[in-house]
Amino acid sequence: MPKISRRTSDLGTENAFVVLAEVNELIRQGRDVISFCIGQPDFHTPLNIQDAAVKAIREGRHGYTPSAGIPELRAAAAKDMGGLRGLSIDPEHVVVGAGAKPFIAYTILCTTDYGVGDEVIYPNPGFPIYESQILACGAVPVPLYLREARDFAFDPADLEARITPKTKLLILNSPQNPTGGILTKKDLEEIAAVLRRHPDIWIYADEIYSRLLYQGEFASIASLPGMYERTIISDGASKTWAMTGWRIGYASSPVLAPQFVRWVTNTDSCASHISQWAAVEALNGSQEEPRKMRASFLARRDLIVGLLNRVPGVTCKLPGGAFYAWPNVTEACRMTGAKDSEELRKRLLNEAGVAVLADIHFGARVPDEGQHIRFSYAASNKAIEDGVARMADFIRKNTR
Ligand SMILES: Cc1ncc(COP(=O)(O)O)c(C=O)c1O
């Protein structure tokens, strides 16, 4: 039998999809499971956006587009990304992709060489694709620990301690998956101060949750003096307009944009032509629906965090953005005799019918930070109330 490459055999995955398969199997067996696993809005894409896609189909927008994306979408994305960040972004510096996700790999591929020890620093816990793509691209992953005491930001001194002559790229993510933490302007100023001492490091600012922020003003490292030229801003339609399946993301970089275009040509050719027209409407059309969705996420955040903090053995910080809660369950594990968050997660699923993800699904557990699980609260109020009540019952009944 011909062999499968090590690169592919070792490729990681998004464990949300693995747990989801477990959940779906239980549901298939007739079990009643409330799921908080999947990180996508539970709303339909707004009607005006759906209509724009239908119109694009009827008008015959069926062929390839330029790899960089249609000019109308590049212009709309440049205006939107620039407006939020106080920058004037040239549409020529914006590239459209099949979601924001491909830009993670494109950026690592553009900034590191294969197998020579180039290092990429990335947040831990973090979106699992960072680590798996760093490895698949032949670079060295260097985790940067997020601290609960800092509301899940990292210590800039920890960042500086991890920088070596081999460091090529720093990945930032705010608002953050899985903690819901945000990097404030003050955090970013401290990070920028470190990076100014290391001018050869690129920055990937994963800002896919930029419009789902619940306190203060959104801040991007790209807005700080000297940072824009070396930063790749990544944003997209998936989360803000409930368009995960449409696959539209965009990235801006005055230097790397032409390189991204070559990567798109070499991989997807272009993002879906129809979805691109839908995204033009998302960006340029009425913002009433995304405003309502955000308000709904905010109300659910307050609901779930309030309820979680009343569960025995659980404490939950108020997340500043995205739609994730990241409660500390160290004490709940101790009370129920679960050896760690992963055992607790399995028992919650099998014995209480509550599906969540564990911290180990977002990288190796951070030393001395205890046990955490992730709730995606892109779920109805009733699901949140019933799910957290089931968890509380489970812990009460199983306390030793
Ligand atoms: C931090 C982060 N970055 C990127 C993505 C990918 O988004 P997209 O659907 O635009 O590819 C996600 C999706 O879950 C995410 O959580």
- Kindly give, in sequence order, each residue whose CB lies less than 8 Å from that of residue 354, ignoring residues fewer than 6 positions away: 33, 34, 36, 348, 387, 390, 391, 394
Gap from CA of 292 to ligand 1 centroid (Å): 21
Q: Using CA positions, which residue lies closest to atom 5 of ligand 1?
A: 101
323 neighbors 212 (Cβ within 8 angstroms): yes
Query: Where do you find CATH 3.90.1150.10 in the chain?
Result: 6-44+289-398
Pocket test residue of 17, 177, 209, 264 for ligand 1, highest count of atoms within 8 A of CB: 177
Classify domain 6-44+289-398 by CATH number. 3.90.1150.10
Pocket test residue of 17, 101, 122 for ligand 1, highest count of atoms within 8 A of CB: 101
39 in ligand 1 pocket by Cβ < 6 Å? yes
Tens of pLDDT, residue by residue over 240-290, are 999 999 999 999 999 999 999 999 999 999 999 999 999 999 999 999 999
Atom of ligand 1 nearest to the CA of 127: 1
Confidence of residue 400 (pLDDT cuts 50, 70, 90): confident
Tens of pLDDT, residue by residue over 97-134, are 999 999 999 999 999 999 999 999 999 999 999 999 99
139 neighbors 112 (Cβ within 8 angstroms): yes
- pLDDT cut 70: percent of the chain above it: 100
127 in ligand 1 pocket by Cβ < 6 Å? yes
- Kindly give, in sequence order, each residue whose CB lies less than 8 Å from that of residue 251, ignoring residues fewer than 6 positions away: 94, 95, 97, 100, 103, 106, 107, 232, 233, 234, 235, 257, 260
Instruction: For the beta carbon of residue 225, count every other beta carbon within 10 angstroms.
Output: 8
Residue 288: what pLDDT? 98
Atom of ligand 1 nearest to the CA of 100: 10
**Calpha distance 276→373 (Å, rounded):** 35
DSSP 152: T
Gap from CA of 208 to ligand 1 centroid (Å): 6
- Kindly give, in sequence order, each residue whose CB lies less than 8 Å from that of residue 260, ignoring residues fewer than 6 positions away: 68, 95, 97, 103, 106, 110, 251, 253
Higher pLDDT: 397 or 7? It is 397
Tens of pLDDT, residue by residue over 7-61, are 898 888 887 788 888 898 999 999 999 999 988 999 999 999 999 999 999 999 9
Q: Specify whether the backbone of 329 is left (phi greater than 0), alpha (psi in -120 to 50) or beta.
A: alpha
Atom of ligand 1 nearest to the CA of 236: 10
Atom of ligand 1 nearest to the CA of 14: 14
pLDDT at 397 over 90: yes
Mean pLDDT of all residues in 288-302:
98
Atom of ligand 1 nearest to the CA of 126: 1
Residue 99: what pLDDT? 98
DSSP labels, 246-280:
G--EEEE-TTTHHHHHHHHHHTTSSS-HHHHHHHH
Residue 15: what pLDDT? 79
Opening angle at CA 317, ends 365 and 329, nearest 5: 45
204 neighbors 104 (Cβ within 8 angstroms): yes
Atom of ligand 1 nearest to the CA of 176: 1
Helices (H), the chain: 6-9, 15-28, 47-58, 71-85, 102-111, 128-136, 156-162, 185-196, 257-266, 273-284, 288-308, 330-336, 341-347, 381-398
Compute the half-sphere exposure of residue 334: CA atoms within 13 Å on the CB side of its CA: 9
Residue 10: what pLDDT? 84
Atom of ligand 1 nearest to the CA of 173: 1
Query: Where do you find CATH 3.40.640.10 in the chain?
Result: 63-284
Classify domain 63-284 by CATH number. 3.40.640.10
Confidence of residue 187 (pLDDT cuts 50, 70, 90): very high
357 in ligand 1 pocket by Cβ < 6 Å? no
Structure tokens at 246: 């449409």
287 in ligand 1 pocket by Cβ < 6 Å? no
Residue 16: what pLDDT? 79
Residue 111: what pLDDT? 98
Mean pLDDT of all residues in 334-352:
97
Place of tokens 């002559």: 165
101 in ligand 1 pocket by Cβ < 6 Å? yes
**Calpha distance 242→163 (Å, rounded):** 37
122 in ligand 1 pocket by Cβ < 6 Å? no
**Calpha distance 117→38 (Å, rounded):** 34
- pLDDT cut 90: percent of the chain above it: 94
- Kindly give, in sequence order, each residue whose CB lies less than 8 Å from that of residue 82, ignoring residues fewer than 6 positions away: 88, 89
Q: Using CA positions, which residue lies closest to atom 4 of ligand 1?
A: 101
Gap from CA of 97 to ligand 1 centroid (Å): 12
Tens of pLDDT, residue by residue over 234-245, are 999 999 999 999
Opening angle at CA 125, ends 139 and 291, nearest 5: 110
Residue 201: what pLDDT? 98
**Calpha distance 118→136 (Å, rounded):** 13
**Calpha distance 160→193 (Å, rounded):** 10
Q: Specify whether the backbone of 306 is left (phi greater than 0), alpha (psi in -120 to 50) or beta.
A: alpha
pLDDT at 186 over 90: yes
Gap from CA of 172 to ligand 1 centroid (Å): 13
Higher pLDDT: 9 or 139? It is 139
pLDDT at 296 over 90: yes
Opening angle at CA 208, ends 7 and 321, nearest 5: 120
Quote the mean pLDDT of the chain: 97
Residue 113: what pLDDT? 97
Q: Using CA positions, which residue lies closest to atom 6 of ligand 1?
A: 101
Of all residues in the chain, what percent are helix, strand and coil, respectively (each to 5)?
Answer: 45, 15, 40
Return the closest-CA partner of residue 148 out of 312, 330, 301.
330
Atom of ligand 1 nearest to the CA of 40: 14
